[in-house]
Chains A and B, each alone.
Chain A
Amino acid sequence: MSIFIDEQTRVVVQGIGSQGTFHARRNQDYGTKVVAGTHPRKGGTVWEELDRPVYATVAEAVEHEGANTSLVMVPAPFTKDAILEAHDAGISTIVAVTEGVPVLDMTDVYDTVVRRGGTRLIGPNCPGLISPGKSNVGIIPADIPSPGRVGLVSRSGTLTYQIMHELAQADIGISTCVGIGGDPVIGTQFLDVIQAFAADPDTDAIAFVGEIGGSEEQKAGEWIRDNIPDTPVVGYIAGYEAPAGKQMGHAGAIVKEGGPGGESAAEKKEILEGMGIAVAMNPSEAAQLMIARLG
């Protein structure tokens, strides 16, 4: 098994411009069932690069193609409406890759789609997710991981690729890799993914990559300590050297000056280690810790 996406995943792509088409095509080449694209003014045409139909709305893609997952690749100003549209159309998993969505848009979206709507939303500002050998939805380079039994969850894209790559070199495969995104308000948190991995019979171990800012890693750590103490879990928190008050690339990667505390990498490491979770000082060490735990 895997989590969130598998052979049953049928993807509708919202945003079929050059970027959306480029990545959707890669997803399709990997074997992902990309069933349709949407464009408000191109309904009824053919998405030639993928040889799939284009519909004006997500609802039509659900009705005619059985789409159950959406990949949101529209520009930031349109992302809120795109996610709400997918939710209204009954899509069960929405993957929002788009970066730079206003934070108030995301609080609205979170309230409607996730908190009250119960739909799975991954992202925004995320690379998407891959269940190796089954499905790839988003922009993760599919040739890095092979199928396996380690679940990986991360706030960072390239850092995820790095750790997958190091695990792959040690012949350790991945059940599902989920990039949850680097924004302050995201649909799916560390804890949601870790709970799903815990419930997945084909995931035996969990690696997570956190960052400075917020406190979601701690929340996940508490749950791991209380519920799955025997599952091998290793982590890495990026940004030991990041100064307070400076945003490090990702909108969510900032240690608030005079804030509540617990937002720096060193503090997160200390808190998580206090919960019995191994936390590495760099990505290679995280991979090594996982290799050692599985060896």
Chain B
Amino acid sequence: MDLVEYQGKQLFGRNDVPVPAPGAVCRTVEEVRAAAEELGPVTVVKAQVKTGGRGKAGGVKVATSVDEAVAHAQDIFGLDIKGHIVNVIYVEPASDIAEEYYLSIMHDRVNKGVLVIASREGGVDIEEVNRTRPDAVVKQVLLPSETTDGLPTDMARDIMTRANFPDDVLDQAADLLTHLFAAMRNEDATLLEINPLVKTGDGRVIALDSKVTLDDNAAFRHDNYEEWQVEGLDNDDPLEARAKEQGIQYVKLDGTVGVLGNGAGLVMATLDVVAQAGGKAANFLDIGGGASADVMAQSLSLVLSDPDVASVFVNVFGGITRGEDVANGILEACDRLGDFPQKLVVRLDGTNAEQGRAILTEAAHPSVIPAATMADAAEKAVELATA
């Protein structure tokens, strides 16, 4: 799960990573006015969305008066930043910035460890800095065996020194890095990014922004994990939101052929064959192992409620679940759903697929069209969707 800036700063704060004085989370222009009156005279009005490039999109503005903060809030609420609509604004007392740096820690898939990236150049696109002046960016891979007791201070100091952090902030920056590293462990984060990390006029080093991603798989060992799920911060598609509630693996796509199948790989392959047949999938939906009538009905109901869906491709490979059971599950699901206008092209393969197909053929359900291969099924589904 991604956190928005103010949540990331809360997480930093409780892990002793220095952040600016607390601001106010606002959902209305009136709340922004009240916050600016309390926190001003100079405040920063910041859109809280789970995407980058807020500044460029006009989602972060400095206000020197209450009226200005209100004017900014009026502009920023409802702003569309890369498909994310702004519902929440964070008003923070403006910080006195002397210098800007960059610091991040992330899970490193390639090296199976943790990657620290530090640069004296902050507040800019770090990928761009890395491309144009790789010398200005220090990357350090850390393996668990090197950091069993956290990140040693001398290691943190070494990283910051190599990243050319000025002498007067070196100790603070190294200390901040060790706390950030500990936060990754404490919170099961896969990304903690501070851009910019700043030195203030009075010489303090603080995280002026935050980008945090937490590992959903680790939610079981974090009390109050759900507290990060705040209304208005997720710009999920409504169908994706419903799927999440029901525990269904679903991704909304922009085509017209609804897709559901068992196994992430098989469903990805199904999207591929639909495209190769000249169509476009409306979604990704993995029903997982087995194919009980319950799961099938719930999944079908989700796919069919998408107004973009003109036909549905049900792609099931019978492994341990036999073809007969899959076929009966589909028929029962259709009966439970009652009438729906879209046709289901059902492709069954694997264990006892022939028996399964025979059941479908015999039932002659008006909404179900059996198909023998993925290619056949894709063609039929695309034909139905474009007819």
**Interface positions of A (Cβ within 8 A of B):** 26, 76-77, 100-108, 110-112, 115-116, 139-141, 143-144, 154-162, 165, 182, 184-185, 209, 211-212, 214-215, 236, 238-243, 246-253, 258, 265, 281-284
Contact = CB atoms under 8 A, between A and B. Distances in A.
22 contacts: A101-B217, A103-B215, A104-B184, A104-B188, A106-B112, A107-B107, A107-B114, A115-B143, A139-B320, A140-B319, A156-B266, A182-B265, A215-B110, A238-B266, A240-B272, A241-B268, A242-B268, A243-B251, A248-B251, A250-B264, A251-B217, A284-B374
B218 A104 contact: yes
Contacts of B264: 156, 182, 211, 248-250, 253
Given A112-B145, A282-B272, 19 more contacts: A102-B218, A103-B107, A104-B218, A108-B144, A110-B112, A156-B264, A157-B265, A159-B266, A162-B349, A211-B268, A239-B272, A241-B268, A241-B275, A246-B251, A248-B268, A252-B109, A281-B272, A282-B375, A283-B374
Q: How large is the interface on B (under 10, 10 to 19, 20 to 34, 35 or more residues)?
A: 35 or more
B275 A240 contact: yes
Contacts of A115: 112, 143
Closest 4 pairs (CB-CB, A-B):
A156-B265, A249-B264, A158-B263, A159-B265
B298 to A, nearest CB: 16
A112 B253 CA distance: 40
Contacts of A154: 265
Contacts of A211: 264-265, 268
Contact of A107 (B112, B272, B276): B112
Nearest to A140: B319
A165 B269 contact: no
A115 to B, nearest CB: 7
Interface in B256-274: 261-269, 271-274
B366 to A, nearest CB: 28
Nearest to A162: B317
B249 interface: yes
A248 B267 contact: yes
Contacts, number: 165
Given A182-B264, A253-B264, A141 B319 contact: yes
Main secondary structure of the interface of B (DSSP, over half): mixed
A144 B319 contact: yes
B215 A111 contact: no
Nearest to B240: A246
A284 B347 CA distance: 14
B350 A162 contact: yes
B220 interface: yes
Nearest to A219: B110
B113 interface: yes
Interface string B178-191: 00000011001010
A6 B113 CA distance: 33
A140 B281 CA distance: 28
B284 A248 contact: yes
A249 B286 contact: yes
A241 B113 contact: no
Nearest to B189: A104
Nearest to A160: B265
A153 to B, nearest CB: 13
B269 to A, nearest CB: 5
Most central of B144, B262, B269, B351 by chain A CB within 10 Å: B269
